[in-house]
C-alpha cells in the first residue's frame, strides 16, 4: 500500500512540474495564406480581341487582321509588397494548364477558343488565369516571366505533363517550347497581304542538345521577358495583353526577311520591334543558358539596358 501511495505522489509531482511548462509552450501557428487569381485579357488598344472578330489598326500600316492564335507561358510569378519585396506565388495543384515540378512551375495562358480564325490551329479549352496562393499580406504589384523555366523547357513533349505536352507549343527545331504563339492573319476582302500570316513565336534560341536522346541542352539566348507591374491589384484588375502595342513597330502584311513574322531570329528585321515591345534587348534577349538552368553572360547588362515593355498593363 505504501509503495502505491509513493508512486502516486511521484506521478503527481511530475504532473505539477510539467504542467507549467506545457501551459507556457506556444506551438507555432501555420502561416495564413490567401488565394491569387491573375486574369489576362486580349486587347488591341482598348478594344477586346476575340477569335471571331476583326482586329483593326495593327502595325505600321494600321491594317485589319484576324486572330488565329494567342497562347503564352507564364512562370516565376510573384506579387510585390508595398515595401518592394517580391513574394512567390505557389501555383494551385496541377491541371491541364499548369504544372509544378520541384521549384519550377509554369502556367499556359490560352486566350483562343478554337473558333473563327482560330479554328484551324486552336483548341476549345481556354485559360485566362494564373491561380495559386501567397502568404496573407498587402500586395500592390506583380512580376512574372514570359516563358518556360529552363528545368521544364527542354523535355520530351511526347512524355511531358500538361501543358508541356502541347504539340502546338513545342518548338522542336530549338529543342524546347514556344514561349509565345501569337498569330494574326489576312482577314480577306481587301488588298491581300504579301505574307498571309504574321507569327510571333518567342522562345530560347541557339539551342543544342536534345534531352530526349540523353543530351544536355544549352541555349545561346534565353529570351524570357520579365514583366513588372508595380501597380496591380489582382482582386480588382486584369492584365491586358495588347496586340496593337506588340505589333506597333512592324508591317504585319509583309515578311521583311527570315521566317514569317518574328520567330526570335537574331537577324530577322521584324524581331527588333517585337523584342523591344516585350522589353527585351533586341534581338539577342540576354544571357546564355547552360545545362542545369544556369544562365551565363550578359543578364545584368541586358536587364539594365532593356527597353520598357509595352505589351502588358493593368486594366479593370
Residue 258 is predicted with a pLDDT of: 86
What's residue 191's pLDDT? Answer: 85
- Determine the Cα angle at 147 with ends 159 and 171, to 5°: 50
Cell triple for residue 241?
Answer: 495583353
Q: Is residue 3 part of a domain?
A: no
Indicate whether 25 belongs to any domain.
Answer: no
Beta bridge partners of 229: 142
Q: Is residue 88 part of a domain?
A: yes
CB 14, CB 26: distance < 8 Å: no
Q: Which of 222, 224, 178, 228 is nearest to 72 (CA)?
A: 178
Is residue 27 domain-resident? Answer: no
Report whether pLDDT(282) > 80.
Answer: no
CA distances for 63 relative to 59, 191, 240, 250, angstroms: 7, 10, 21, 11
Contacts of 89-95 with C-beta under 8 Å, sequence gap 24+, read 89/36, 89/130, 89/132, 89/133, 89/134, 90/33, 90/132, 90/133, 90/134, 91/130, 91/131, 91/132, 92/131, 92/132, 92/133, 94/161, 94/162, 95/162
**95-143 pLDDT tens trace:** 999 999 999 999 999 999 999 999 998 999 999 999 999 999 999 999 9
Domain of 297, in residue numbers: 46-315
Is residue 188 in some structural domain?
yes
Residue 21 within any structural domain of the chain: no
Q: Is 282 part of a structural domain of the chain? A: yes
Residue in this structure with the C-alpha cell 473558333, named with its chain if needed = 115
Are residues 111 and 201 in contact, defined by beta-carbon separation less than 8 angstroms?
no
pLDDT in tens, 171-192: 977 779 999 999 999 998 778 9
Q: Rounded to an integer, what distance in angstroms lies between the CA atom of residue 299 and that of residue 107?
A: 24
pTM over 0.75: yes
Q: Is residue 9 part of a domain?
A: no
> Average pLDDT of 65-88?
97
Report the pLDDT value the prediction gives residue 31, as an integer from 0 to 100: 75
Count: domains in the chain? 1
Give residue-wise pLDDT tens across range 20-38.
Answer: 444 555 666 667 999 999 9
Amino acid at each position: 500500500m505504501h509503495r502505491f501511495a509513493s508512486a502516486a505522489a511521484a506521478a503527481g509531482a511530475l504532473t505539477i512540474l510539467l504542467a507549467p511548462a506545457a501551459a507556457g509552450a506556444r506551438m507555432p501557428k501555420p502561416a495564413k495564406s490567401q488565394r491569387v487569381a491573375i486574369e489576362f485579357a486580349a486587347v488591341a488598344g482598348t478594344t477586346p480581341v476575340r477569335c471571331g472578330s476583326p482586329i483593326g489598326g495593327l502595325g505600321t500600316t494600321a491594317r485589319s487582321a484576324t486572330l488565329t492564335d494567342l497562347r503564352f507561358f507564364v512562370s516565376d510569378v510573384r506579387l510585390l509588397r508595398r515595401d518592394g519585396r517580391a513574394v512567390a506565388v505557389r501555383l494551385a495543384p496541377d491541371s491541364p494548364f499548369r504544372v509544378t515540378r520541384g521549384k519550377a512551375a509554369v502556367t499556359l495562358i490560352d486566350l483562343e477558343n478554337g473558333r473563327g480564325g482560330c479554328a484551324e490551329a486552336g483548341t476549345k479549352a481556354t485559360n485566362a488565369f494564373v491561380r495559386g496562393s501567397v502568404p496573407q499580406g498587402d500586395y500592390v504589384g506583380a512580376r512574372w516571366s514570359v516563358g518556360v523555366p529552363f528545368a521544364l523547357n527542354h523535355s520530351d513533349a511526347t512524355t511531358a505533363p500538361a501543358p508541356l505536352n502541347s504539340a502546338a507549343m513545342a518548338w522542336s527545331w530549338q529543342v524546347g517550347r514556344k514561349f509565345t504563339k501569337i498569330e494574326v492573319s489576312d482577314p480577306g476582302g481587301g488588298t491581300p497581304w504579301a505574307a498571309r500570316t504574321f507569327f510571333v513565336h518567342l522562345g530560347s534560341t541557339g539551342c543544342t542538345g536534345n534531352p530526349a536522346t540523353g543530351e544536355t541542352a544549352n541555349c545561346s539566348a534565353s529570351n524570357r521577358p520579365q514583366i513588372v507591374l508595380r501597380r496591380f491589384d489582382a482582386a480588382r484588375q486584369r492584365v491586358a495583353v495588347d496586340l496593337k502595342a506588340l505589333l506597333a513597330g512592324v508591317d504585319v502584311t509583309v515578311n521583311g526577311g527570315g521566317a514569317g513574322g518574328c520567330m526570335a531570329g537574331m537577324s530577322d528585321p521584324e524581331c527588333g520591334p517585337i523584342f523591344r515591345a516585350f522589353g527585351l534587348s533586341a534581338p539577342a534577349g540576354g544571357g546564355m543558358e547552360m545545362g542545369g538552368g544556369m544562365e551565363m553572360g550578359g543578364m545584368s547588362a541586358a536587364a539594365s539596358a532593356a527597353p520598357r515593355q509595352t505589351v502588358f498593363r493593368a486594366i479593370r
